[in-house]
Structure 1
Amino acid sequence: MSSLSRLLRGSGTFNTCTIRRFSSAASETTAAISPPKKSLSSIVNEERNPKRIVDKFKTACESERFRANIAVYDRTVRRLVAAKRLHFVEEILEEQKKYPEMSKEGFAARIISLYGKAGLVENARKVFDEMPERNCKRTAMSFNALLSAYGVSKRFDVVEQLFNDLPDKLSIEPDIVSYNTLIKALCEKGSLSEAVALLREIENEGLKPDIITFNTLLLSSYLKGEFEQGEEIWAEMREKDVARDIRSYNARLLGLANETKSEELVSLFEELKASGIKPDVYSFNAMIRGSINQGKMEEAKGWYKEIVKQGYRPDKATLALLLPALCKAEDFGCAIELCKETFSKRYLVGQTTLQQLVDELVKGGKRREAEEIVEIAKDNDFLKFKLELSSQLIS
């Protein structure tokens, strides 16, 4: 081969490599300046129009990876329920039946649960009943999803009926989640004694009550004024060495506050802190309630300040406790200041609470101040309320 030929071949090789390098660099530069491609989840989440949400969701469902995204399914259903578009919820969930995942119990249980969150319990039951047709075995997992679907829809009698009928009929072994769902349903329907009796049945079935079991029974007992029953459950938790969490403590704090057991209330609050669990806004609300029940308004205001000091925001319950109590104690100045702070700091407050405040101000001869609250409630840029003043609607 001649020198010229070798040179030309070398030049050709050099040029080809150089072009490749420039091409590669150009591609990298283009990739660097191109906007990142949005994920299917983002495309669905960012849509605001309900119909377009449905269309984009159904298109995204063609991706197996998208169908594995539990969070986006849950978020989409919640958004459609909030928009009162239950027919759209049904449309996107029925669409799932064409995918192979419906033969997997975990996926079917998810669809049952989502139907329950939308209150479409008949659809949830249909999915459960159709599982054998898809060669999908029904175990406690899908059974629990069905119980929960009826529970969140407040069909408590049906939860009890399903629990009594389906396990033997379908050879399903209820687990602790099944029992916890039944216990909650019984508590919600006012059958506390039946719920408590299940503690023994759970143990007889070789299962172990967990923190959810005890917390459900604790809160229901104290809320319904069954203080002694609550104390027995609290003692059983200690006896069985069940680690108590913030929900356990908050339930008993509420019970003690309602019974005006001030010394035990403060003692339990100190025990809560010593346990390494941080009190939350519900803990402080219980302390406020206890102080109010004892007529110790300065102490109640101190607990309110602790909420903010600990980095929490007062909630509706906090203000529903404090505002009427301050008016009853004729501490109108503090009540007005607290109300204004509520709007300036954008705390959530209920209209009933504000109306009580306005009524009490008028009764207490503070009509001008009441009018000011009515105007703030009407004109603020956070939560707008139409409050009544002297039986006339201010609008």
Structure 2
Amino acid sequence: MAAALRRTQIRLRVPRPSSFSTTADAAAPATFPVPEPDPISRAKSAIRSESDPERIASLFLSSVHSPKFYGDRAIYKLSISKLARSHRHDLIERLLEPHLAGSSSTSDANPNPKSEGFHIRIITLYSEAGMIDHAVRAFRRIPDSGLRYTERSLCAILTAFRKNRKHDLLLRTFQSAPEDLQISPGITSHNIVLNALCTHGDVAGARKMLDEMEGKGTKPDLVSYNTLLTGYLKKGEESGFDDVLKEMVAKGLAPSVVTYNCRIGDLCSKKRTSEAEELLDAMASKGVRPNRGTFNAIIDGFCKEDDVVAAMRVFKRMPRAKKEDGHGGASPNFDTYVLLIRSLVEKGEFLSGLEVFKECLDRKWAPPFEAVKGLVEGLKNEAQFNDAEYVVVKMRKAVKGDAVDAWKKVEGALSV
């Protein structure tokens, strides 16, 4: 049998190098040319690491003639946001104005896009830079490209007004849109105005507007009602809040995570956090995935009721909040950790506080010094000296920059 197996073995032959190659050449691994990054990618990389506003503008302009330039939203957003942080509105104007319709600065090889979407991009960039007057001018120049205003461009300028807190301009533009812009506002623009009214504290005006919408041919949707719920919750108007909930049920609107978060916030504000926690199970049964805001509201509610054990129970449920496909989970943020550590220390739950502290540092976040100081002192009082020393050493490694000296003072007072 062994002999048979030997006879059937396949012998691999290594080809001899030809007379035209050296041994070193034959042994060298095959190499393939690595494609160089395109000009837009190079420019974005350079802009990302650049701190000089003038240089950022130059890098942006150097990419204008690339065929992919106008379609790459990231280079616009990256450049304008960095210039806005440097308060260089003059450079932002220099970069964006030539791209608007009617400019004579573009070459025939690279004509400016004349789409409504491109104008909306410019409006949005000006808005995010706080240059609302420029955003308005960009909006008014849409017809210069031979385009008509639509619901999309109306929503863009309304959103710009809302983000820049130009409440009166928002309302005037919305109300005059049918006559001035030849646009009949749709559900999206109505929802932007509802949001602005509620944010401005005019929930009664938002309620009136929602009541009038159907009569004008626009049916309120789930976003409309959720916006009103949020407004009533912030104002603390319980009767209005309950009326909207009942109306949503009557209209057969399936609640979203925003709806549940409003209900949870309402219950927590009334110190009925246990009932709010029960809504987590109701959400699961309806296939609605809770988000970080859902959990933070319940954790905060339990902490305000001095029930830190329940707060920890909800905290540990966060990673188990799955999507329908079995993936996901709600990730705690810095506020979650700080809230828990402070509350646990105040209630003398130092080992649980240590557990949350470790997880917080694993996320590369250093908790506030006063909370850590309380944690260390609590662990020392319970004779958990090793744990107390562990916290001090970990904080010493975690703090950076100006915080180093501040932590040294705290550490000196702890005498661990």
Is 1:334 the equivalent of 2:333?
no
Is 1:284 the equivalent of 2:295?
yes
Give 1:188's aligned residue: 199
Structure-2 change in CA distance of 1:168 and 1:387 (3 Å): farther
Is 1:93 the equivalent of 2:96?
yes
Counterparts of 1:384 and 1:167 in 2: how far apart (Å)? Answer: 56
* More off after superposition, 145-154 vs 238-247: 238-247
Residues 222-278 of structure 1 deviation map (CA, whole Å, 9 limit, x = unaligned): 233233323322332222222332222222222222222245323321110111222
Secondary structure of 1:34's counterpart equals coil
Q: How far off its partner does 1:383 sit?
A: 8.6
Structure-2 change in CA distance of 1:343 and 1:263 (3 Å): closer
Tell me the amino acid that sits aligned with residue 257 of structure 1.
Answer: C
Structure-2 change in CA distance of 1:70 and 1:303 (3 Å): same
Q: How far off its partner does 1:64 sit?
A: 4.8
Give 2:307's aligned residue: 296
Tell me the amino acid that sits aligned with residue 278 of structure 1.
Answer: R
Give 1:117's aligned residue: 128
Counterparts of 1:193 and 1:365 in 2: how far apart (Å)? Answer: 52
Is 1:252 the equivalent of 2:292?
no
Q: How far off its partner does 1:111 sit?
A: 0.8
Tell me the amino acid that sits aligned with residue 35 of structure 1.
Answer: V
Secondary structure of 1:33's counterpart equals coil
Structure-2 change in CA distance of 1:227 and 1:161 (3 Å): same
Is 1:108 the equivalent of 2:119?
yes
Q: How far off its partner does 1:131 sit?
A: 2.8
Counterparts of 1:175 and 1:62 in 2: how far apart (Å)? Answer: 38
Is 1:153 the equivalent of 2:164?
yes
Give 1:357's aligned residue: 371
Q: How far off its partner does 1:366 sit?
A: 7.5
Q: How far off its partner does 1:71 sit?
A: 4.0
Tell me the amino acid that sits aligned with residue 214 of structure 2.
Answer: E
Structure-2 change in CA distance of 1:107 and 1:347 (3 Å): same
Give 2:279's aligned residue: 268
Secondary structure of 1:67's counterpart equals coil
TM-score (norm 2): 0.73
Counterparts of 2:366 and 2:200 in 1: how far apart (Å)? Answer: 29
Counterparts of 2:36 and 2:388 in 1: how far apart (Å)? Answer: 55
Counterparts of 1:317 and 1:221 in 2: how far apart (Å)? Answer: 24
Give 1:218's aligned residue: 229
Residues 68-122 of structure 1 deviation map (CA, whole Å, 9 limit, x = unaligned): 2334433433343345444333222113124554643222122111111111101
Counterparts of 1:190 and 1:284 in 2: how far apart (Å)? Answer: 26
Counterparts of 1:258 and 1:247 in 2: how far apart (Å)? Answer: 16
- In structure 1, the gaps of 5 or more residues are 1-31
How many residues are aligned here? 358
Match of 1:315 among 327, 333, 346: 333
Counterparts of 2:177 and 2:357 in 1: how far apart (Å)? Answer: 52
Counterparts of 2:401 and 2:218 in 1: how far apart (Å)? Answer: 48
Match of 2:184 among 173, 179, 183: 173
Is 1:38 the equivalent of 2:56?
no
TM-score (norm 1): 0.77
Counterparts of 1:357 and 1:127 in 2: how far apart (Å)? Answer: 49
Tell me the amino acid that sits aligned with residue 321 of structure 1.
Answer: L
Counterparts of 1:329 and 1:241 in 2: how far apart (Å)? Answer: 44
Structure-2 change in CA distance of 1:236 and 1:73 (3 Å): farther
Match of 1:236 among 228, 231, 247: 247
Check whether the contact 1:150–1:156 (CA below 8 A) recurs between aligned residues.
yes
Alignment RMSD: 3.5
Is 1:136 the equivalent of 2:147?
yes
Counterparts of 2:115 and 2:76 in 1: how far apart (Å)? Answer: 17
Check whether the contact 2:81–2:129 (CA below 8 A) recurs between aligned residues.
yes
Check whether the contact 1:102–1:134 (CA below 8 A) recurs between aligned residues.
no
- In structure 2, the gaps of 5 or more residues are 1-30, 322-328
Secondary structure of 1:243's counterpart equals coil
Residues 277-329 of structure 1 deviation map (CA, whole Å, 9 limit, x = unaligned): 22222222122123224332111111112224554432133134323322332
Counterparts of 1:388 and 1:206 in 2: how far apart (Å)? Answer: 65
Secondary structure of 1:279's counterpart equals coil
Task: Give 1 or 2: higher helix fraction.
Answer: 1
Counterparts of 1:77 and 1:348 in 2: how far apart (Å)? Answer: 31
Give 1:56's aligned residue: 59
Residues 350-394 of structure 1 deviation map (CA, whole Å, 9 limit, x = unaligned): xxxx2552686699898999999788656515797447979x999
Structure-2 change in CA distance of 1:366 and 1:188 (3 Å): farther
Q: Percent of aligned pairs with the same residue? A: 28
Structure-2 change in CA distance of 1:234 and 1:317 (3 Å): farther
Counterparts of 1:364 and 1:103 in 2: how far apart (Å)? Answer: 65
